[in-house]
Structure 1
Amino acid sequence: MRQTELHLTDEDRAAVDEIRRKGRHHAREVNRAHVLHSLDRGVPEAQIMAVLGLGRTAVWRTRLAYLQGGIDLAVFDLARPGRPRQYGTDDEARVMALACSAPPAGQKRWTLAQLECAARQEPGLGRMGRETVRRILRKTTANPGAG
C-alpha cells in the first residue's frame, strides 16, 4: 500500500503533542492527534490502524483534512447547526404557570391531555403537543398530578 507522506510544522507538532498529553479533549480528537503524530513520524498506515483500532478511511480523512485546512480542521469537530428550539424559556414558563394554576372545573388535578389543550389555547403555543408539555414539566420538579 502506498502511503502519502505528511510533515507537520513545528507549531502543529507542538499542538498535537499538547493534545496527546492533556486529558481535556474528546477521545476522537486524541485519536486524530495520534494519527497525525504517527503519520509525521512515518509510521505505516497498517500499524496506525492496528494500534489505534481505526479504519483506513479515518486515517485518510485525518490526513486529507490536515492537508486542506490544518490542525483545526483535522483534529477538532466542526460545529453542527442542529435544529433551533421551537419554544423558548418564556413559553416554557407559561406552560409551567398553567400547570401550577387551578385545574379545570370539576377536576382535582391537571392531566397532560388537559394541559395540552389549555396550552394550545394560549397565543403562540397553538402547535404544542402532549410530548412537548411532558418534556417541559419533566425539566422541573413540578408534578401536576400531585394535589
Structure 2
Amino acid sequence: MIMGKSKYAVHLTDDQRSFLEGLTHRGKSAASSIRHAYILLHADKPDPEVAAIVRCHPQSVFNIRKTFVTRGLDAALHRKIRDAPPRPRKLDGEGEARLLQIACSEPPEGYGRWTLQLLADRLVELQIVESISIKTVERTLKKRAPAAHQKAVGHPAPRKRELCRRDGGCAGGLPTSV
C-alpha cells in the first residue's frame, strides 16, 4: 500500500531519540508522556500503523506529530495547561465574602438556620449574581470556610455510641459522657 507523505514529517535527532527511549524504558513519567514518546519513536511508520501499535486513534498520532513539528519536543510530550477556565466564575472574591457574611448572619424570620437555597436566593435578591445554583453555594462555603458551611447547613445528627465487636456486631449502646 502506497501512502502519501505526511504534511508533518517527524525527524528526530540522535539526542531526541535517546531521550525518548530513556523516557519509555524508565516508566517514571506520566502515562500520556510515555504514549506520546512511543508515537514519536514510531514516526517513520504510517499513522494507522502507529495507532495500532500504541493503541490509540490515528487522529491522536496526527496531533502529536503536528505538535512536535510546530511547537517542539517538550510541547509534544506534555499536555497544554489551560490558560483560562471554560466559564467565568459566578462568585469572585467579593461575592464569596458577601456569601460568607450572609451565611454567618441570622437566618430569615421563620427559619432556624440558613439553607443553601435560602443563601442562593439571597445572593440573587441582593443582586450579587444574576443566578446561582445551590451546588455553587455549597462548594464555595465548603472550600472557603468550613465553619460557615456547618453553620449554614447545620450539624449532622449526633451519632449513637455503640461498642462494636471484631466481627462487626454491636454489643449495645453506651452512655455519653457528661
Q: Shorter-chain TM-score: what band? A: 0.7 to 0.9
Segment drifting more, 91-100 vs 113-122: 113-122
Instruction: Provide closer, same or farther for how the CA distance between residues 63 and 98 of structure 1 changes in structure 2, counting only shifts above 3 A.
Output: same
Q: Of the candidates 31, 34, 53, which is equivalent to residue 30 of structure 1?
A: 34
Q: Of the candidates 108, 113, 137, which is equivalent to residue 112 of structure 2?
A: 108
Which segments of 5 or more consecutive residues in structure 2 lack a partner in the other structure? Answer: 156-178
Equivalenced residues, count: 143
TM-score (norm 1): 0.73
Which segments of 5 or more consecutive residues in structure 1 lack a partner in the other structure? Answer: none
Alignment of 1:1-147 (within 5 A): 1=1, 2=3, 4=5, 6-20=10-24, 21-25=26-30, 27-39=31-43, 42=44, 45=47, 47-80=49-82, 81-82=84-85, 83-122=87-126, 125-131=128-134, 132-139=136-143, 140-141=145-146, 142-143=149-150, 144-146=152-154
The runs of at least 4 aligned residues of structure 1 exceeding 4 Å deviation read: 42-47
Contact kept, 8 Å, 2:27 with 2:34, in 1: the verdict is no
Q: Aligned-residue CA RMSD in angstroms? A: 2.9
Contact kept, 8 Å, 2:91 with 2:129, in 1: the verdict is no
Contact kept, 8 Å, 1:13 with 1:37, in 2: the verdict is yes
Superposed CA deviations along residues 87-130 of structure 1, whole A, max 9, x for unmatched, are 2234223212311221112321112232123223446x132424
The offset of 1:8, in angstroms, is 0.4
Q: Percent identity?
A: 28
Instruction: Provide closer, same or farther for how the CA distance between residues 94 and 11 of structure 1 changes in structure 2, counting only shifts above 3 A.
Output: farther
Instruction: Provide closer, same or farther for how the CA distance between residues 43 and 146 of structure 1 changes in structure 2, counting only shifts above 3 A.
Output: same
| Mapped partners of 1:6, 1:115: distance in 2 | 56
Contact kept, 8 Å, 1:3 with 1:45, in 2: the verdict is no
Secondary structure of 2:40's match? Answer: helix
